[in-house]
Amino acid sequence: MTTEQLKEKFIERYGSGEVKGYFSPGRVNLIGEHTDYNGGFVFPCALSFGIYCLIRTTDRQTVRFASLDMPFEAEVKVEDLNKSIGKEWVNYPIGVFAQFMKKGLSFDLGADLLFYGDVPTGAGLSSSAALEVATAVMINDVYGFGIDRIELALMGQKAEHEFALVNCGIMDQFVSAMGKKDHAVFLNCDTLAYDLIPVILDGVKIVISNTNSPHKLDSGKYNERVAECQAAVKAIQPFKQIATLGEISWDEFLKVEDKIENPTVRNRARHVVSEIQRTQDAVKELKSGNLIRFGELMNGSHDSLRDDYEVTGIELDTMVDEGRKINGVIGSRMTGGGFGGCTVSLVKDESVDIFIQQVGLNYEQKTGIKPLFYVAEIGDGGKRLF
């Protein structure tokens, strides 16, 4: 849908007058999975698709929420914008309004809002972070609060914790707020120091394969992994003083690994610590143009997420296995939280068509589900469009 069409839809619903439009992207993570809430490194890029949000302020003391692609509408009094309204999608933007109120800021005007997303929801491409960041960037601009971008990302993350009850890390909101066209964000999730690294893929595309098996972050499995990582930190503490798994190097981990008695907790920690190392190595390889080694690290990441972290499952594993069989595939792994969702693969230009055709066929044959493919374009972080 074009921005002109979006404006028309807004006017159809709310009547004519001035309209402002904002956009924040979904993301694909190239490597560094389940490391963010462990104070580790991540390496995601913002996508060209995401969530659009149109707004007009009003002198009614309510905010009206509607979406072109999600069911459910709501009208909420401005003083009630800090109260959850259950499991509907509206709860995400409301959760963001609530974060502004928590800072002691108030809304002197009501507003009419219309949302639209072209990022697939529930596919592990961070449609929820895109929704939170689009809302945060919009509120900040329209109401003139002057909060900086990184703080807006943190507010989006808090909204997710408090209103969606997922104890997520900062990766998704950060890249949705701070991403840059044709760059990946190399982020230290402990200090929030970051580098924008140009993604120069000579003759290679980033292909996203959607298993069309919804990832279920709110199913409790995500929070279970967060808790298992905290248990690993506790088990390591008598031997090395750490506050997060991000504070122990791979070599140090090898020395204390067998002190972690619970084998599941040990495996979870092994994934996290090795993934943090892989992420740092991968960024070095990309910078020096060694895509082959970058792809091997992507493969290593998936295998570790499958074997030690156990967040893949039959659909993601089948997609990755089928992808790796294709000539011209440099690396392939799950991306995002896991338990369904998408994979990300580096595929040589000349193999992209055959990849989509062959992997699509074989995946459908094996799982009975029709997948979807997108050739990723790396876009900018959240911004005002008009």
Cβ neighbours, 10 Å, residue 121: 17
Q: Work out how close the CB of 251 gets to ligand GLA at its nearest, in angstroms, rounded to a whole number.
A: 23
Tokens of 222: 């995500």
Nearest CA among 147, 124, 126, 127 for reference residue 137: 147
Of positions 14, 22, 24, 33, contacts ligand GLA by CB under 6 A: 33
Name the residue nearer to ligand GLA (CB basis): 168 or 326: 168
- Residue 34: CB minimum distance to ligand GLA, A: 5
Looking at this protein, which amino acid is placed at residue 68? L
Q: How many residues bind ligand GLA (CB under 6 A)?
A: 11
Nearer to ligand GLA, 55 or 123 (CB): 123
Q: Does residue number 306 form part of the binding site for ligand GLA (CB under 6 A)?
A: no
Nearer to ligand GLA, 122 or 328 (CB): 122
Strands 204-210 and 20-29: unpaired
| Residue 384 neighbours by CB under 8 Å, 6+ apart | 20, 21, 22, 137, 138, 141
Q: How far is the CB of 317 from ligand GLA (least distance, A)?
A: 17
Candidates 32, 38, 33; CA nearest to 228 is 38
113 exposure class (CB count in 10 Å sphere: 0-12, 13-18, 19+) = buried
136 and 6 in contact (C-beta within 8 Å)?
no
Which residue lies nearer to ligand GLA by CB, 21 or 381?
381
| 172 scored as a contact of ligand GLA (CB under 6 A) | yes
Q: Are 286 and 197 in contact (CB under 8 A)?
A: yes
CA-based nearest residue to 194, from 168, 220, 173: 173
Find the binder of ligand GLA among 14, 22, 23, 37 (CB under 6 A): 37
Q: For ligand GLA, which stretch binds (CB under 6 A), given 48-56, 167-175, 191-199, 250-258?
A: 167-175
Part of the chain binding ligand GLA (CB under 6 A), chosen from 56-64, 75-83, 168-176, 247-255: 168-176
Does 169 participate in binding ligand GLA (rule CB under 6 A)?
yes
Cα separation, 112 vs 114, whole angstroms:
7
Contact flags string 108-127 toward ligand GLA, x per CB under 6 A:
------------------x-
C-beta of 168: minimal distance to ligand GLA in Å?
3
Q: Cβ 33 to ligand GLA, closest distance in Å? A: 4
Catalytic residue among 36, 112, 172, 308: 172
- In this structure, which amino acid lies at residue 98? A
Helix axes 221-236, 263-287, angle to 10 degrees: 100
What minimum distance in Å lies between the beta carbon of 126 and ligand GLA? 6
Q: What is the distance between the alpha carbons of residues 217 and 337, in angstroms, rounded to a whole number?
A: 7
- Contact residue for ligand GLA among 21, 25, 336, 371 (CB under 6 A): 336
Given candidates 28, 171, 276, 326, which one binds ligand GLA under the rule CB under 6 A? 171
- Residue 106 CB, shortest distance to ligand GLA, in Å, is 29
157 vs 212, beta carbon nearer ligand GLA? 157
Using left for φ > 0, alpha for ψ between -120 and 50, and beta otherwise, residue 122 falls in: left
β-bridge mates for residue 185, sequence order? 196
Q: Which of 171/245 has CB closer to ligand GLA?
A: 171
Note if 172 is an active site residue: yes
Token pair 């309209």 in the structure block, residue: 19
CA gap 44, 125 in Å, rounded: 11
CB closer to ligand GLA, 36 vs 308 = 36
> Which residue number, 119 or 326, has a Cβ lying nearer to ligand GLA?
119
Smallest CA-to-CA distance from 315 within 295, 342, 354 is with 342
Among 337, 340, 381, 382, binds ligand GLA (CB under 6 A): 337
Which of 25, 28, 36, 282 is in the footprint of ligand GLA by CB under 6 A? 36
75 CB-side CA count, 13 A: 7
CA–CA distance, 205 with 376 (Å, rounded to integer): 7
Min dist. Cβ of residue 2 to ligand GLA (A): 29
User: What residue ranges bind ligand GLA (CB under 6 A)?
Assistant: 33-34, 36-37, 126, 168-169, 171-172, 336-337
Which residues are tagged catalytic?
172
